[in-house]
Amino acid sequence: MKIIRLLTLAAGLAASLQLTGCANISMSQPKAALETTTALRGTTMAPAAIGKFSLDSSRPADVDKSIGLRGGNSVKSPIDDSFSQYLRESLRVELEAAGLFDAASKTVINGTLTQSEADAAIGTGTAKLGARFVVTRAGSVKYDKEWIVDDSWESSFVGATAIPLAAAHYEGLYRKLTGKLLADPQFQAALAKE
Amino acid sequence: MTSSFSLGLRRLGVSLLIGASATLTGCASFYLDPATRDVSTAEMPKVAQPQPVKLNFEFQTRGAPNSRATEHLQGAVTEQIKASGMFSTLDAAPGGAILDIKLNNIPLNDGSPAAKGFVTGFSLGLVGSSVADGYECKLSYLAPGQTVPIVKLTRHAIHTTLGAANPPPGTVHVDSANEAVLKMTHAIISNALRDLAQDPAFH
């Protein structure tokens, strides 16, 4: 039973560190995924600008601000306290890493956050992220599509484990979503060099 | 039921080493696995013409980003890369070279496929006397204009015991969980950097 005592000790101390009262977990600053960068460097896309990103107007404003995890705990965005702005920055850093970001470009990518949820339920945790992306060039729409990605994982009955893990999986969806968008041949065609 | 409960506790405990690093003191002891030795700056192969690079570092737990641990280790990792002398700056221009380091924590006592695939070569102790956290470092270097990175993989492990339990043989005692994590990080990255520096494709 020593191993159980050891692990219980570790869990209890970690819980006291991570979850004293209610925890607000801030996601990391967006980073480019190397896999996406290497894929983009092999394409013939032209640099693009990033335009306006916002929450779908049909959704409650709170959806853009935080996600509650098991009561008073939450995950938040470090970018303007906004998930839609986190998505915007996630896309910008991906394009920049591949040398495909140009704030002055006439090709502009706009986005609307349509889905944002995570659940640290006991047993199986789930998360979902969705956004509609619109590409315009000189005012003409070249691309308009919604992408939705999701994730599920084994979720502990102890909040000290389950809540940070849910936040981590939710954060990972931003790379997954931008990766889907940037790998879409239709999107790449919309950004193709003229 | 007991088995399931024990497994749950194991998964719980081993996944929390990083989170507990600031508070685990007293009766818990920490040991570095001897399989991965730190490579000092003096031992690092010299790079004739260091070039700028953009550093991306991320700590992961079971492959998912761990923002708190990333923040905790970011400064130390940045200083280590600078001290290696392998790169002129760490703020390469967009589209330039990228050094991508992912340090993934894999709990070794939870019976998962990832754990089973990891343990070869490491000093696991007797069941019931210690728990181990495995760490896998994937260091990727993408040169400017290239689409295929150079990739180096290195591994390390931290063992934790309770009370007077004997540590796994050959392991190196460290004073705290935080020291264990910092030394593990330095050692695992130093090995990956050395492997990169020795790769002719890097030069």
Q: What is the pLDDT of residues B167-187, one digit of tens each?
A: 888 899 999 999 999 999 999
DSSP string, B20-71: HTTT--TTEEEEE-TTSPPPPGGGSPPPSS-B--EEEEEEEETTEE-HHHHH
b/e for A113-125, b at 16 or more Cβ within 10 A?
bbbbebbbeeeeb
Q: Decide if A7 and B163 are in contact by the 8 Å CB cutoff.
A: no
Residue B123: pLDDT band (50, 70, 90) is low
Query: Chain B partners of A98 at a C-beta cutoff of 8 Å?
Result: 95
Query: Chain B partners of A28 at a C-beta cutoff of 8 Å?
Result: 58, 65, 67, 70-71
In this model, does residue B124 exceed pLDDT 70?
Answer: no
The closest CB to that of B9, out of A7, A17, A98, belongs to: A7
Which pLDDT score, from 0 to 100, does residue A128 have?
A: 98
Residue B100: pLDDT band (50, 70, 90) is very high
Which regions of chain A are under pLDDT 50? 1-21
Which pLDDT score, from 0 to 100, does residue A160 have?
A: 85
Q: Is B8 on the interface with A (CB under 8 A)?
A: yes
Q: Decide if B23 and A97 are in contact by the 8 Å CB cutoff.
A: no
- B60-88 pLDDT, tens digit each: 988 899 988 999 999 999 999 999 999 99
Q: Is A118 on the interface with B (CB under 8 A)?
A: no
Q: Is A27 on the interface with B (CB under 8 A)?
A: yes
Which pLDDT score, from 0 to 100, does residue A81 have?
A: 96
For residues A136 and A133, give the distance between their C-alpha atoms in angstroms, rounded to a whole number. 10
DSSP string, A114-127: EEEEEE--SEEEEE
Residue B20: pLDDT band (50, 70, 90) is very low
Segment B139-163 mean pLDDT: 92
**Which residues in chain B (39-98) have CB-CB distances under 8 A to chain A?**
54, 56, 58, 60-62, 64-68, 70-71, 94-95, 98
Query: Chain B partners of A37 at a C-beta cutoff of 8 Å?
Result: 98, 142
Which pLDDT score, from 0 to 100, does residue A136 have?
A: 97
Longest CA pairwise span in chain B (Å): 61
CA–CA–CA angle B108, B180, B71 (5° rounding):
90
State if pTM tops 0.90.
no
Q: Decide if A13 and B12 are in contact by the 8 Å CB cutoff.
A: no
Q: Decide if A41 and B100 are in contact by the 8 Å CB cutoff.
A: no
Which pLDDT score, from 0 to 100, does residue B121 have?
A: 66
Query: Chain B partners of A4 at a C-beta cutoff of 8 Å?
Result: 6, 9
For residues B173 and B179, give the distance between their C-alpha atoms in angstroms, rounded to a whole number. 10
Which pLDDT score, from 0 to 100, does residue B2 have?
A: 36
What is the share, in percent, of chain B residues with pLDDT greater than 90? 55
